[in-house]
Structure formats: structure tokens, C-alpha cells
Amino acid sequence: MMFFSTRDSEKKLYSASQVIKQGLADDGGLFVPDSIPSVTLEEIAELADRSYPEKAATILSKFLSDYTYDELLEDASAAYCESSFPDGAAPLKKIKDGTYSLELWRGPTAAFKDMALQIMPRLLSRALVKTGEQNTALILVATSGDTGKAALEGHKDVDKVKIMVFYPVDGVSKVQKLQMVTQMGNNVNVCAIKGNFDDAQTGVKKIFSDSVAKEKLLENGYVLSSANSINWGRLAPQIVYYFHAYCELLKTGEIALGDKINVCVPTGNFGNIFAAYLAKLMGLPIDKMVCASNSNNVLTDFISTGVYDRNRKFHLTMSPSMDILISSNLERLLYFTAGTEETRDCMKKLSESGRYEVSESVKAAIKENFIGYCADEDETAKALRACYNDNGYLADTHTSVALACADKYLADSKDDTKMVVVSTASPYKFAADVYKSITGKDAADGTGALDQLEALSGMEISYPLKDLDKRAVNFSTVVDADKMLDEVYKFM
Ligand SMILES: *Cc1c(COP(=O)(O)O)cnc(C)c1O
């Protein structure tokens, strides 16, 4: 299996390890596989008896053909191990008849990014060896909170990789800050900067385009790399849990082999739901994919009208990981439905005017698989409260956007196909908003909200968030945004 860029009409080919090492194509496009491997129903039935790491190795080996099955199994076993995922990698819980929650937040940072970031650094470490890279990869991340912590946990103590995370000193929640500054590992560094997230992001981008800095890093044995969500190495591991969810429904007798299921995915960058689409193309019996958005509903409009227009008000919501107006992975869907020329044309318009419109045939092809719904803040809180009161299921704010959208879809369609709602964060990660949605009352500041929510629900605080305020603080550096490079040099 080889890969090429969504924007390259020549289709220059790259191996999986090159793609994982490089991340983004030189022409600004995203890497896509040159064919879609298929999985038969018999294979799915066999997978049902396998462990999560075995499922992961099986699915990944179909895409990463320059990795052996044994290498992938070793990496998946280390990534989805008991100490990182004590409740299993992706438990499927029944919320009510016909509706299930796929919990992707049982990992070390209590959010779904762990599903990819626990294994991607291991794939990257191997990619460096496979591509003959002599240097150590230095990952630089600017974070508004969640990605930074998940990237730190995923890269800690991985060979040939070091990671440094910059966060805005007053721009992350108290819980997020505690999660980062208490990080352990011998190859990690965390630095606060005076400024906002944009300052941190701009600072990192500046280092990436600084040829003098790159030269100096290289002299010391480092090449810069990123843990960006558009890397194929982050997307591929996300395909696995859709197969896993189907297998779990088979094992518990909720469906029979070959029955179709629907999925409803709380969406931001379109990575998670695109992985469901790939699973469907491979042969997993998925019918509809419901794309759930919060008030930033650019995708809802796009799926129904074929017009993508980011020129709109940006809303700060209680599902911040979905506060996105440019969904990068959508480019991959465009490629699969529209081909290279139209994708390139749309992406050019997006960068020039923030708007593009796809052709009628592309619009129809997208609608065959996807349907978009959005939920505003009130609807989200209401769905969260109703799910808790009626079904005894405690969902976080992002998952609740999906719960609200799944309800809207059911009301409109009367579709009785089994629905898997993808749950992307622990309710404790957004404890104050969850608490307020249920009780109507403001929660205490900082970690106090976690205790209040635990007292209310009786559900144990997710292990990565427990006793956060009692852990040793390992990082306390705060610098001006223009001193970021100096900190990188010190770390090196
Ligand atoms: C990143 C994230 C999402 C959005 O996922 P995409 O793959 O970007 O669509 C949803 N919920 C949570 C909690 C997240 O961290």
C-alpha cells in the first residue's frame, strides 16, 4: 500500500513510514492511501474473538504495509495496555434500546485523542528507523489544552523522540494546566508562554520555518516534527474502534453478522468521523454517519447545501474541542468523492475567500453517507440532563452534542437501525459544565467541580484526573512568546 497527496494529480507515491514521518504533503495536501483494503464479514466475525491490540494490528497492517504484523501488534499492545486503559480501550455501553455509547476516553488523558496518540508516536519511532533517519524527532506542540497533554502522554519515553509543549499561561483550564505541569517522562518538556493560544501557535510555526534554527538543531542531532491531527498515523488507528464497536454488538447479540449500524460522531476536525467512513469503505456494515456539530455548525450547512463557508461568527461553547471552523480532514472526504482537481480547486478557494461549493454529484455522494445535525448550548445541556435522568448515563458535553443530534436524526428519520454514539471525553474532563447542565447550579472552581460531580453521580472520577492537585509539579517555566526558541535550545 502506498500513499499520495490529495492535491497531486501526478500521484507521486510515498510509503506509510514516509507519510507518518512527514505528516503533511509538500504541496499542502493530505496523504491518502492509493486503494482501500477490504474486510469480509467472515473476517469481522473472526475479529470479534480477538483482543483490542490484535484488532488494531490486523486493521493497521492493511494500510501500513511496510510495518510487519508483529511490529504493529507490539506497538498496539504497548499503546492499549491495561495500565493506560484499565477499563479496556473502547468499552461499548448500552444507553437505551437501540442506542450505545462507544467510550473512547478511558485512556491516560481522559479524552479520545489518546486512541490515536498512544500508538502514533510508536509508529513514528519505527518510521524514523525505516526511513534511515539518524536524528531524533523533536515534536513541538502549541496547545489550547487537550492535545498538549495527550501528545505528552503518547510520546513520553518513546525512543528517538522528544516532545516540547507550549501553552498560554492564562489560556487553559486549571485542570488542563495541572495535567500538563505534572507530566512525567524523561523526554518531555512543558513551557508556559505569556500570551494567548495564537501567540503560542505563531511561535511554534515561526520555529518550524526558521532555517537557522533548523540548522542548529540538526547539528545537535534533531529534526523537527509535529503531532498534528492530519497525520495519517493519527487517522489510521481511529478506524479500528469502529470495527471493535461492531464486534461488541455482535458478541452481545444486539445485531447479527451483516446487519447495518449507524454512527453519530461529535465532530470538529472531521478526523473521527472520517475514520468511520473509511471503515465503511473497507466493508464494515455502516449505513448513516451522523455528523454532530455544536453552534459552530459549518459542517451541518456544508452537508445539506454543498456550500462550505467559514465566514461566520465563531462561538465559544462548552464543547471547546469542537469549536472549529476549518475542518482539515474534510479535504480527505473531498478527495474520495470529488478527485484531485476539484479538491485542489476547493482548497484554493477556502484559503482565498473562506468559501467553496462542491458540484451536485459530489454533494449527492456525500449525502448518501452523511447527514449533519447541530445542537446549541441549551439543546446540549438538555440532552445531557435527559440522558442522565432517564437512562442513568453520565455523558460529557461533547458526547451530549452527539446525543442531541442522534435524537434529532431519529425524530426526523424514524430509522430503527442501531445507533452507536461516539463518546469522546470523560464527563470529569468538563466537570463544571456537566454539573451545571444537570443541576442548573454553578460548580466550584478548578478541581472542586470534580468532587461535586462525583458526589452527585456516584461515578468514580476518571483515574487520570484523580488527585491531580496532589501530584508533584515538574514544570514551572513561564517565558515571553519571543523566547520560545531559547527554551527549545535549552531542552536540546
Ligand atoms: C478532538 C475532539 C473532538 C473532535 O474530533 P475530530 O476528529 O477533530 O472531529 C470531539 N470531542 C473531543 C472531546 C475531542 O477532544
pLDDT tens for the chain, 492 residues long, are 999 999 999 999 999 999 999 888 989 899 999 999 999 999 999 999 999 999 999 999 999 999 999 999 999 999 999 999 999 999 999 999 999 999 999 999 999 999 999 999 999 999 999 999 999 999 999 887 788 999 999 999 999 999 999 999 987 888 889 999 999 999 999 999 998 887 888 898 899 889 999 999 999 999 998 887 889 999 999 999 999 999 999 999 999 999 999 999 999 999 999 999 999 999 999 999 999 999 999 999 999 999 999 999 989 899 988 988 888 899 999 999 999 999 999 999 999 999 999 999 999 999 999 999 999 999 999 999 999 999 999 999 999 999 999 999 999 999 999 999 999 999 999 999 999 999 999 999 888 999 999 999 999 999 999 988 899 999 999 999 999 999 999 998
Ligand 1 pocket test, candidate residues 321, 422, 423, most atoms within 8 A of CB: 321
What are the cell numbers at 271? 478526523
Cell 449500524 sits on residue = 261
Ligand 1 atom closest to the Cα of residue 429 is: 13
What is the pTM (predicted TM-score) of this model? 0.95
What are the cell numbers at 92? 461499548
Ligand 1 atom closest to the Cα of residue 268 is: 9
Task: Give the C-alpha separation, 16 to 63, whole Å.
Answer: 8
Concatenating the DSSP letter of every residue in 115-144 gives HHHTTHHHHHHHHHHHTT--SEEEEEEE-S
Cell 514521518 sits on residue = 21
CA of 425 to the centre of ligand 1 (A): 9
- With a Cβ cut-off of 6 Å, ligand 1 is lined by 111-113, 146, 266-272, 321-322, 398, 424-425
Which residue's CA lies nearest to atom 4 of ligand 1? 268
Task: Give the C-alpha separation, 108 to 110, whole Å.
Answer: 6
- The domains found in the chain, sorted by start residue, are 92-109+233-461 (3.40.50.1100)
| DSSP assigned state of 296 | -
344, 7 in Cβ contact below 8 A? yes
The residues, any chain, with a CB within 8 Å of residue 379's CB and separated by 6 or more, are 404
CA distances from 443 to 103, 137, 446 (A): 25, 42, 9
Which run of H or E residues covers position 248? helix 232-251
